[in-house]
Amino acid sequence: MEKCSVGKFTHSDCHLLNYVNRKAIQAIEKLSETDLNLLKLRTDSNYELKTICLHHQSVFLKNYEFLQKVCCDPFKKHKTTIKKMLRVVTVEQSRIILYKGFKVKPGQKLCASCRNKLLKIKQIDESNGQNSLNTKDEDHDVEFTPAELLQKRNVIAELNSSFHEIGCSPMKLYALGEHSRSFYGKEKLQRVHETVKEKIQNVLAVDLPEKKNDVGKSVIKKSEDLDKLVDIIKNQLSGTSRRKQIQMLTIPASLMWSRRKIKETFNVSDYSVRKAQKLFKDQGFLAETARRNGKQLSPDIIELVKKFYQLDEQSRILPGMKDVVSIGKKVYERKRLILCNLSELYSSFKLEYPNLKIGLSKFCSL
């Protein structure tokens, strides 16, 4: 088949079956505007592309992020390939990084070291406030913040000033993960409460009563119920099918448990946890994985194979009175002796019917 425009431009082979199951070419116009922009950015094409094969569509669009296994190393500093702590670069991020003088394609991945270097060389544009880089979580993800960043910093400065006046430590947001913010906020609020309470007691020379924990019993009851639910799931997971296990693992996945916590709690494989998390994200709670339907032989082929077995050239009827087999209620068929081994019989069948698709194991099972 003729090469597509993408294959000609990138000087790569077309119509490979590594990620697709058929060969075809389609017009570029059939792609969405988003996919078309991604294709141009990822192929660095400066001229108008007209066609794309299914192989290149999979490589540059559907599986592009999956195929990026290492850091793209925009600074050319890595002596070895980095495969851990990788984060995908979005279209907006790639354009801003390009503005900084470093070429990174959307869909490629950056390691933590490269993301930190980008943070150090950032130059905030005061006119629009849209080109700043900020850390989002403990993995130092690169996030491009809006113009309200200055207002947020002012609020933090006011809080820290108030904390300093009452003798509390300041707010520290650097390297604070998204899942840790709620706990950090509650802990900080508790410390502020204790500090203010102590100062009020000293000023008034009184002992203030402790705050009653009205929700303590409720929290304990919910914790016990959760432990019971975990035990029930553990018992159900043992001895059940892989498909049923993945369905039940959507329960802890719905609680936003980490992959490691689910693995250690229920003693399951990392693959099952990833499948369950993806299934919950795509289809929801207690969703079932799709069944894989195997290829079925047509009844005509099955009947043809049976008749081939009964040909006099391939088998002969046994002469004994007891050489019969029951195939129904009071229905008997004479046994036949195959005159060659099954491999030779299969070869004879393929010579006579070369266009029929049937494997040796299926042929022998009939």
347/291: higher pLDDT: 347
Quickly list DSSP for 55-110: HHHIIIIISHHHH--S---TTS--SS---SS-EE--HHHHHHHHHTT----TT-EE
- Is the domain of 351 the same as that of 326? yes
Mean per-residue pLDDT, 268-280: 90
pLDDT of residue 53: 92
- pLDDT, average across residues 305-325: 84
Identify whether 292 is part of a domain: no
pLDDT of 326 above 90: no
Considering the domain architecture, whether residues 221 and 279 belong to the same structural domain is answered as yes
pLDDT at 190: 86
Into how many domains does the chain fold? 4
For 139, the enclosing helix (H) or strand (E) is none
Is 221 within a domain?
Answer: yes
Do 303 and 358 lie in one domain? The reply is yes
Q: Position of tokens 């079932």?
A: 288
pLDDT for residue 154: 63
Whole-number average pLDDT of the chain? 80
Residue 173: band (very low, low, confident or very high) from pLDDT cuts 50, 70, 90: low
- The predicted pLDDT at position 144 comes to 43
How much of the chain exceeds pLDDT 90, in percent? 9
- CA–CA separation, 166 vs 202, rounded Å? 13
How many Cβ atoms are within 10 Å of 198's Cβ, its own excluded? 13
| Cα 78 from Cα 183, distance rounded (Å) | 36
Q: Is residue 290 part of a domain?
A: no
The single-letter DSSP state of residue 215 is T
Last residue within a domain, chosen from 258, 283, 308: 283
Position 96 in a domain: no
Residues 231, 187 share a domain? no
Instruction: Look up the domain containing 51 and give its range.
Output: 5-67
What pLDDT score does 137 carry?
A: 41
Angle between helices 33-43 and 91-99 (to 10 degrees): 40
What's the half-sphere exposure (Cβ side, CA atoms, 13 Å) at 9? 18
pLDDT of residue 176: 63
The reply to whether 57 falls in a domain is: yes
Residue 121 scores a pLDDT above 80 = no
Point out the domain boundary residue: 250, 283, 316.
Answer: 283
Q: What sign for the dihedral angle of Cα 80, 81, 87, 88? A: positive
Whole-angstrom Cα distance, residue 47 to residue 30?
Answer: 18
12 in any annotated domain: yes
CA–CA separation, 133 and 84 (whole Å): 21
pLDDT tens digits for range 183-233: 788 888 888 888 888 888 888 888 887 765 555 677 788 888 888 888 888
Rounded to 5 degrees, φ, ψ at 26 are: -130, 160
Question: Mean pLDDT throughout 140-147?
Answer: 45
Structure tokens at 324: 């019969």
Question: Per-residue pLDDT tens for 24-55?
Answer: 999 888 888 888 888 888 887 766 788 999 99
Of 97 and 305, more confident:
305
Of the three residues 228, 250, 283, the one that is the final residue of a domain is 283
Look at residue 242 in the predicted model and tell me its pLDDT.
87
Q: Is residue 52 within 8 Å of 3, Cβ to Cβ?
A: no
